[in-house]
Structure formats: structure tokens, C-alpha cells
Amino acid sequence: MAGKSSRQQHEGHESNERWLITYADMITLLMVFFIVMYSMANTDLKKFAQVAESMQIAFHTLGVGTGKGGVLEKTKPGAEGSSVLKNLSPMQRDFVSVSADLSAFAAQAGIEGQINVNTNVEGIIISLSDALTFESGSAELRDEAAQTLHEIAKVLRTTENRIRVEGHTDNLATNNPLYPSNWELSAMRAVAIVRFLIEHEGIAPSRLSAAGYAEFKPVAANDTRANRALNRRADIVIIYPQSSRQYTLEKPAEEGK
């Protein structure tokens, strides 16, 4: 009888501690969620790389690690990592993947400060500086822009989402008679990227649209040369339906099932 009582006590002790496993899983998942949210609020790919590396070291979950030279590289996620990523929304999972892919490309090409990835209420935004894409006052794509757009097209082919290309300028007047105002310049820059994606990368025209916003959607005040450079950009927006933006938290499987 004494042996039976001891076994019952041991089983009761194990049962009482099972909640700790579920609690630890929940805390880990919440931490990963907040770190992903933090990285999604920052446009700097270098910072994303640091956040992703820290998360993988701490939790061994993300499936994205740092390779040679600090470049992000994908690793095979374990069962725990797959579970965490599965609970992210489709948009959040794609954000992690897109940021990792373009971070690696930017580091290898030496253009880290000229490609940024962010999100808004519509979806994922890939921002390209005009120093990378266009000559000053021109809507002709630079030669070096082709490889960058080729890499972005690889990302775009992994989804069937709609894509809007946006042209943005600073608040200085144009010096090109072909573009009387920044409206024409920004719109034609967006069209130039759309045409490249269609004609050179085979992206379906039905997925694409172009919009010019001139100087009226700045990301910084147009009060310094550095800030004006930030505002001169082309944004490639991958648009997600609302249902694909939602974070989902799956309930853990019940014991014995």
C-alpha cells in the first residue's frame, strides 16, 4: 500500500506541474510575438537582422539566423519554431521572410541603407531610395536598379497578392520640362517600375497598379537634405486582405487527446 501511495503522490506531483509547460509555451509565444511586432515597426533591415538573430538565440524558433558577415540566412526551423510561425498571420510570416531575403541581398550588394521593409494597415511595404532607382528629376530607371527589382520580383512571385507601386518625391520643384510638377514625376516613376516588373520579370499586369503621390506622403519633414532624400523613394506595397493580417493564437492540445 505504501508503494501505491508513493506512486499516486508522484503522479499527482507531475499533474500539478503540467500547467508550467503550457505557461512557458505561452510566454515564449508572446515574447516572439512582441519581438516580431517590434521589428515590423522598424524599417531598418540591419536592425531587423539583429532582432531576428537575438530571437533565434533566445528561443531557437524563428528559422532565420545570421550567417557569414552578419547576413541573414534561413535555417531549418525545428518543431517549436514551426509552431510559433504557424501562429503568426500570413502577412507577419511573409514579413519575416521578405525582410530576411532582402536583408541578405542588400548586405551582399552593399546597398543596406537603400532598401527598407515595413508594414502598414494594408500590407508589406518595400521602400527603395531614389538614389538606387532613378537619376535626379528623371523617371528613367538606373541600370543598377534592375538587379534590385529582380530580387524583389522573386518575392512577389511567391504570392498572388495585388501590388501597388507608389512614387514619392521631396517638396522641391522639378527641373525637367517633361515633368511640370512632382505629380507627373512621381506617377511616371511608379509606371516605370510597373513596366519593368511586367516586361522583364513577368509579373501579371492584373496584379499591378501605379500611383504618384508627389511630396504629399513624406516619411520625414522636408527641412534638411537628409530628410528630403528619405522622402524621395519608390514604395512597392504588397496588399493583403484583412483576414490575412490577423494574428492567431492556437490553443494547446489537451492532454490525452
37-46 average pLDDT score: 53
* Residues paired with 126 in a beta bridge: 117, 236
Question: Between the CA of residue 204 and those of 14, 38, 90, 198, 255, what are the distances in Å?
Answer: 57, 33, 21, 6, 48
Over the stretch 9-32, which tens digit does the pLDDT of each residue have?
A: 555 555 556 666 666 666 666 666
Residue 255 covered by a domain? no
What residue numbers bound the domain in which 110 lies? 2-244
181-200 average pLDDT score: 98
Give the pLDDT of residue 8. Answer: 56
Residue 250 covered by a domain? no
Work out the burial of residue 189: count CB atoms within 10 Å of its CB; fewer than 13 is exposed, 13-18 middle, 19 or more buried: buried
Q: Provide, rounded to the nearest whole percent, the portion of the chain with pLDDT above 70.
A: 61
Query: Which residue stretches of the chain are H helix?
Result: 2-40, 45-59, 79-86, 90-109, 130-133, 145-156, 182-199, 225-231
Residue 249 covered by a domain? no
238-246 average pLDDT score: 82
Give the pLDDT of residue 242. Answer: 82
Over the stretch 68-122, which tens digit does the pLDDT of each residue have?
A: 333 334 444 444 445 555 678 889 889 989 999 999 999 999 998 899 999 999 9
C-alpha cell at 33: 510575438
pTM score, two decimals?
A: 0.68
For residue 148, is it left (φ>0), alpha (ψ between -120 and 50) or beta? alpha
Residue 149 covered by a domain? yes
Give the pLDDT of residue 34. Answer: 62
Domain tally for the chain? Answer: 1
Decide if 131 contacts 225 (C-beta within 8 A).
no
Distance of CA 183 to the CA centre of its chain: 28
Residue 253 covered by a domain? no
> Distance between CA atoms of 201 and 154, rounded to whole angstroms?
9
Residue 257 covered by a domain? no
Q: Mean pLDDT: which of 12-16, 38-42, 70-74, 183-187 is highest?
A: 183-187
Q: Could you tell me the pLDDT band of residue 234, with boundaries at 50, 70 and 90?
A: very high
Residue 46 covered by a domain? yes
Residue 254 covered by a domain? no
Q: Which is nearest to 169 in space by CA: 118, 117, 213?
A: 213
Decide if 169 contacts 214 (C-beta within 8 A).
yes
C-alpha cell at 172: 522641391
Q: What is the CATH number of the domain that holds 161?
A: 3.30.1330.60
Give the pLDDT of residue 23. Answer: 62
